[in-house]
Amino acid sequence: MSGIDVDEETKRAECEHFENVIKAFLFYREHALNVVSKAEVSFARLPPQHQAILSHLPSKFSTQKRCVDVNQQFLNTIVAHASSFTANSHLLQGAQTEFPFITGQGLDMDKIRCTLRQFVRDWSEDGQAERVQSYKPITDALESYYSHYPMDQRYRLRVLLPGAGLGRLTYDIAKLGFSAQGCEFSYQMLISSNFILNYAPGEKMLALHPWVLSSSNVWDADAHQFKQVLVPDEMPGGLPPNVEFSMVAGDFLEVYRNQRGEWDCVATCFFIDTASNVVQYVEHIHSLLADGGIWINLGPLLYHYSDSADVDSTELSYTELRSLVLHFGFEIKEEAERTCYYTQNPNSMMHTIYNCAFFVAIKKPSRGFVPTPTSVPNVSMTTPYAGNPSPQMYAAVTGSDAHVAAPPPPQ
């Protein structure tokens, strides 16, 4: 993985993409003020008698702008540590994180607003309910399957989490004593997780207003739209002895293409539908697992490329996906429907509810396989894709070609 060769054009394109993400972080205030300005213009165009009835609105707009300033300060803090992410990336050598002027043209501001909401889900007390819905079934299944492993030996079991986002589920799994690695493709998520995992100044010391630009379906603006959320709800760290916890940047299919049979568990949360070819995902997950290893999945099938004119998209029903899982040699041990929210404002008048598919599937042992607990092969700490300010908190881990045998499932 560390020896990947890329041409200069690829590096240039990658740097340009990364810089546009940084620019979007820095442009947030101007973007947000444009949203508020539109509301101010609309108010100014009301008949005078209507303006008199709604005379409180200018004060409301001022509060909205103050919340925007707080968000920009939070985003600036993230960007201030982004250089640590680029320093050890061969793809991002020379990428800039400071710009004298930003036009906003071509920047994806919706993803910045989504990033703020993701912080609520992963790293605030306000996101606890969503984490219980989406993350706890995964951690419960992991602990149940490996319940016969002593706590001080769990670190020998390696858990991979593609689509790790801001890293909370990966961190929670590491806290349980398992060696866990998250993989993420989005620079918005990678820059932000790099910050929160390595540089957060303290528990609940960072403020943000995630719903400030959401003016529809609001019960009470002061209490709900302008609500302040504090992050992180706990400081990352204090993991059990010998546990390896890491995040890797890159495409799931590319980063792990040479790690056949090296993982004891793959956990996918709101991830499987990010595939343009879901068959490839299932096939790859099967190849990564050791015989007897488990795949824990929770999420909907909201295929991300279904409306894309430029990307092919193979969209399967759950019944078809289930058949595919069985086809590749999995045995489904547990299956359920789980109701989940995703980065929702709990105080909004409108909610999107996902009826998610949850399953635990075991990779059937191949012929001649004798499942016995073994140690994890030696791993080398490298940084082919991600920054590495802290070896424990943000390193890329690559495994050897040695086989990792998963323990037998409980009878």
Residue in the block written with tokens 């606890």? 128
Going from the C-alpha of 317 to that of each of 45, 162, 311, 314, 323, the distances in angstroms are 49, 21, 19, 10, 10
Looking at per-residue pLDDT, the higher value among 387 and 36 belongs to 36
Residues 83-92 have a mean pLDDT of: 86
Q: Is the pLDDT of residue 362 over 60?
A: yes
Identify how many contiguous H helices and E strands the chain contains and give both numbers. Answer: 12, 11
For the stretch 163-201, pLDDT in tens is: 999 999 999 999 999 999 999 999 999 999 999 999 999
How big is the chain by its Cα radius of gyration, in Å? 23
Token pair of 384, please?
């082919």
Q: Please tell me the predicted confidence (pLDDT) of residue 100.
A: 93
For the stretch 274-288, pLDDT in tens is: 999 999 999 999 999
Q: Is the pLDDT of residue 371 over 90?
A: no
Looking at per-residue pLDDT, the higher value among 312 and 394 belongs to 312
Q: Please tell me the predicted confidence (pLDDT) of residue 391.
A: 30
Helix 109-123 with 187-198: angle, nearest 10 deg: 40
- Separation of alpha carbons 408 and 371, rounded Å: 6
Contact indicator for 372, 149 with CB cutoff of 8 Å: no
Q: pLDDT-derived band of residue 1, with 50, 70 and 90 as boundaries? A: very low
Looking at per-residue pLDDT, the higher value among 403 and 8 belongs to 8
Q: Is the pLDDT of residue 271 over 90?
A: yes
Residues 307-334 have a mean pLDDT of: 96
- Return the beta strands (E) in 215-329 as ranges: 229-231, 245-249, 263-269, 289-299
Would you call the peptide bond into 384 cis, given omega within 30 degrees of 0 as the criterion? no
Q: Please tell me the predicted confidence (pLDDT) of residue 88.
A: 75
Q: Which 8-state DSSP code applies to residue 11?
A: H
Query: H helices of 257-317, where?
Result: 278-288
Residue in the block written with tokens 């004891």? 264
For the stretch 138-156, pLDDT in tens is: 999 999 999 999 999 999 9
Q: Is the pLDDT of residue 395 over 90?
A: no
Q: Is the pLDDT of residue 382 over 80?
A: no
What b/e string do you get for 16-41 counting C-beta neighbours within 10 Å, with b at 16 or more?
A: eebbbbbbbbbbbbebbbeebeeeee
Q: Is the pLDDT of residue 346 over 70?
A: yes
Q: pLDDT-derived band of residue 6, with 50, 70 and 90 as boundaries? A: low
Q: Please tell me the predicted confidence (pLDDT) of residue 2.
A: 40
CA of residue 96 relative to chain centroid, distance: 24
**Average pLDDT along the chain:** 89
Residues 298-317 have a mean pLDDT of: 95
Looking at per-residue pLDDT, the higher value among 77 and 93 belongs to 77
Q: Please tell me the predicted confidence (pLDDT) of residue 348.
A: 97
User: Among candidates 370, 383, 409, 286, which has minimal Cα distance to 84?
Assistant: 383
- Separation of alpha carbons 22 and 408, rounded Å: 46
Q: What is the DSSP string of 118-140?
A: HHHHHHSGGGHHHHHHHTHHHHH
Contacts of 345 (CB under 8 A, 6+ apart): 210, 211, 214, 224
H/E stretch holding 333 reads strand 330-340
- Separation of alpha carbons 267 and 260, rounded Å: 16
The residue type of 109 is M
Q: Please tell me the predicted confidence (pLDDT) of residue 87.
A: 83
Q: Is the pLDDT of residue 396 over 60?
A: no
Query: H helices of 101-245, where?
Result: 109-123, 128-134, 136-145, 168-175, 187-198
Q: pLDDT-derived band of residue 400, with 50, 70 and 90 as boundaries? A: very low
- Separation of alpha carbons 255 and 127, rounded Å: 30
Identify the weakest region by mean pLDDT among 33-42, 241-250, 376-385. 376-385
User: Among candidates 212, 219, 217, which has minimal Cα distance to 63?
Assistant: 212
Q: pLDDT-derived band of residue 245, with 50, 70 and 90 as boundaries? A: very high
- Separation of alpha carbons 248 and 254, rounded Å: 12
Q: Is 325 exposed, middle or buried (0-12, 13-18, 19+ CB in 10 A)?
A: buried
Q: Please tell me the predicted confidence (pLDDT) of residue 366.
A: 65
Q: Please tell me the predicted confidence (pLDDT) of residue 91.
A: 87
Question: Side-chain half-sphere of 65: how many Cα atoms within 13 Å?
Answer: 14
- Separation of alpha carbons 407 and 245, rounded Å: 21
Q: Please tell me the predicted confidence (pLDDT) of residue 5.
A: 57
Q: Is 262 left (phi over 0), alpha (psi -120 to 50) or beta?
A: alpha
Beta pairing class for 396-399 and 206-208:
unpaired
Contact indicator for 246, 394 with CB cutoff of 8 Å: yes
Q: Is the pLDDT of residue 257 over 80?
A: yes
- Separation of alpha carbons 334 and 298, rounded Å: 12
Q: Please tell me the predicted confidence (pLDDT) of residue 384.
A: 28
Q: Please tell me the predicted confidence (pLDDT) of residue 365.
A: 85
